[in-house]
Amino acid sequence: MISIVDYGSGNIRAIGNIYDRAKIEYNVVSTATELSKAKKIILPGVGAFDETIEKLNSSGLKAILDKKVLEEMTPILGICVGMQIMANSSDEGVQNGLGWIPGKVKLFDTSILQKPKIPHLGWNTVDIIKDTGLLRSIDSEQGFYFIHSYYYEVENESDILTKTFYGDNFTSSINRDNIYGTQFHPEKSHSNGMKVLINFAEL
């Protein structure tokens, strides 16, 4: 059973609808007891970094999440800001992140040659750096939908799952052991995104 964490952030129903269509069982969890039973976890997230991490802290779910992810090695997929809060910190705020995968969330540099506009908005391609089941049979040219001004700069190259070009190459999804995160929105990326969510269910 996949558990989608409801801590007041992110598009839970859009994710749930995709699993409904794929006839994959899931539940939406908002208490520590429910979360402790999760076999797989999806951590959505929309909004600003500090607001999101504050919501998670006040939800009372942080301790059990740490235990599930770091001790029980339960697979987890963070989406957008739900991924960014896995970092140590962010340029967008002052709060500490979960610190699961070493790195810092940074603002796009608009001073470089291509002068990318902020936010990075729309459909972009991905270059698969590491072969894991999460991106099995996706169309990397079709790509995914992005909407963000900040990106996760990981400390270790080995944690990079995909890169995407926007003015420069940035890390557009990450993975270490049982922990996965995508900057793009699989729940809003049509058939390609649906594949990612199904792949996660089948990991």
Partner 1 sequence: MLRPRIIPCLLVHKKGLVKTIQFSDPKYVGDPLNAVKIFNEKEVDELMVLDIDATIDMREPNFKLIENLASECRMPLCFGGGVRTVDQAIRMVNLGAEKVALSSSALNDMDLLDQIGKAIGVQSVVLVLDVKKRNKLFGSSVYEVFTHRGKKKHSKDLDVVLKQLHDHAIGELVVNDISNDGLMQGFDLDLASFVHERIEVPFTFLGGAGSYTDLNKLIDRFKIIGAAAGSIFVFKGKYKAVLINYPGKEEKSQIITT
Q: What is the DSSP string of 112-156?
A: STT---SSEEEEE--EE-S--GGGTT--TTT-EEEEESEEEEESS
Q: Sign of the CA dihedral 166, 96, 159, 183?
A: negative
Kindly tell me which of 7 and 180 has the beta carbon lying closer to partner 1.
7
Binding site for partner 1 (CB under 8 A): 8-9, 11-14, 17-18, 46-48, 51, 81, 92, 117-125, 143, 145-149, 165-166, 185, 187-188, 190-191, 193-194
Which residue in 72, 185, 190, 202 is the catalytic one? 185
Catalytic: 54?
no
Which residue in 25, 187, 190, 202 is the catalytic one? 187
DSSP character at residue 76: E
Quote the least distance from Cβ 166 to partner 1, whole Å. 6
Quote the least distance from Cβ 42 to partner 1, whole Å. 15
Which residue in 80, 92, 120, 148 is the catalytic one? 80
Give the other-Cβ count within 10 Å of 16's Cβ.
17
3-class state of residue 69 by DSSP? helix
Nearest to 167 by CA among 155, 149, 193: 149
Catalytic: 187?
yes
Kindly tell me which of 75 and 78 has the beta carbon lying closer to partner 1.
78
Catalytic: 34?
no
Phi/psi for 121 (5° steps) reads -135, 120
Kindly tell me which of 48 and 70 has the beta carbon lying closer to partner 1.
48
Kindly tell me which of 49 and 180 has the beta carbon lying closer to partner 1.
49
Kindly tell me which of 33 and 191 has the beta carbon lying closer to partner 1.
191
Quote the least distance from Cβ 88 to partner 1, whole Å. 20
Quote the least distance from Cβ 168 to partner 1, whole Å. 12
Quote the least distance from Cβ 149 to partner 1, whole Å. 5
User: Half-sphere exposure of 52 toward its Cβ, with a 13 Å CA cutoff?
Assistant: 27
Give the other-Cβ count within 10 Å of 21's Cβ.
11
Chain Cα centroid distance, residue 128:
16
Which residues are marked as active site? 80, 185, 187
